[in-house]
Structure 1
Amino acid sequence: MTPGTIYEAIGGLETIDKLVTAFYKRVAKHPLLIPIFPEDLTETARKQSLFLTQFFGGPRLYSEERGHPMMRRRHLPFEITPSRRDAWLECMAEALTEAQIEEPYLTAIFEKLTMTANHMMNTPEP
């Protein structure tokens, strides 16, 4: 762990795992998100855990396993509309609360994820 990182401040991998579990529990039930996610979310959640670990300043697990994140490119096959972005962020906001991530990290994390979610949008609303 790099000292002074969000990853370290929120409790490392244990907290990332709580966050990812809480998030995908919601994704699996969200009518706007179900169509763009696989039925079995196990591998998707594992990759998300690797990514968030790295994204928040922890070990570069995602890059070591999968190369450069290139998140927009990896998401291009999926229709990510503004409403799906909002649904994704809603699920993440609830997951951050469930994982008991406190301020100032809650706001910092949500801001970083909001910027990323905005960047992932690739399809206008129908």
Structure 2
Amino acid sequence: MTSTFYERVGGAETFRTLVDRFYAGVAEDPPLRQMHPEEDLGPAADRLRMFLEQYWGGPKTYGETRGHPRLRIRHAPFAVTPRQAERWLHHMMAAVDSLELPEAEDAELREYLNRAAWFMVNATDE
């Protein structure tokens, strides 16, 4: 029986660690922080964690509670510039670094996150 990516990398604990470390960086990055209107980053962290868990073969909680991801539509109210994508990737890749995943899974996760960040760009830098 083939395991999912979610299972191979350690399941819920790994995704919680990834998202917690990512948002620790976002909290200290004013241009990214302004894209999170909630006073507490907890709700945004929960949404990202649930999305990533579902995408990688874990629980379907995101879809059950929020419906289809519609990532570009959900981010449309924000000016996601190439500079913002680079900042997002900086914090996300630092979080991935901290996980010390097996080489194949590390590469697969990084490739997806890179594509996802650039897919979200909807504005130009000024």
TM-score interval for Structure 1 and Structure 2 normalised by the shorter chain: over 0.9
Using the alignment, how far apart are the partners of 2:44 and 2:109 within structure 1? Answer: 20
> Match of 2:113, SS?
helix
Unaligned 5+ segments in structure 1 are none
Q: Supply the RMSD in Å over aligned alpha carbons.
A: 1.4
Whichever residue aligns with residue 34 of structure 2, its letter is P
Superposition pairs for residues 59-74 of structure 1, below 5 Å? 59-74=59-74
What is the number of residues matched between the two proteins?
125
Deviations 1:46-90 (A, max 9, x none): 111100101111121110110000011000001100000011011
Instruction: Give the 5 Å matches for 1:1-126.
Output: 3-38=2-37, 39-126=39-126
How far, CA to CA, are the matches of 1:110 and 1:42 in structure 2?
23
| 2:29 aligned partner, one-letter code | H
Which stretches of structure 1, 4 residues or longer, exceed 4 Å deviation after superposition? none
Q: TM-score, normalised by structure 2?
A: 0.93
> For structure 2, which runs of at least 5 residues remain unmatched after alignment?
none
1:4-46 superposed Cα distances (whole Å, 9 cap, x missing partner): 3211110000100000110000011113312212331010001
TM-score with structure 1 setting the length? 0.93
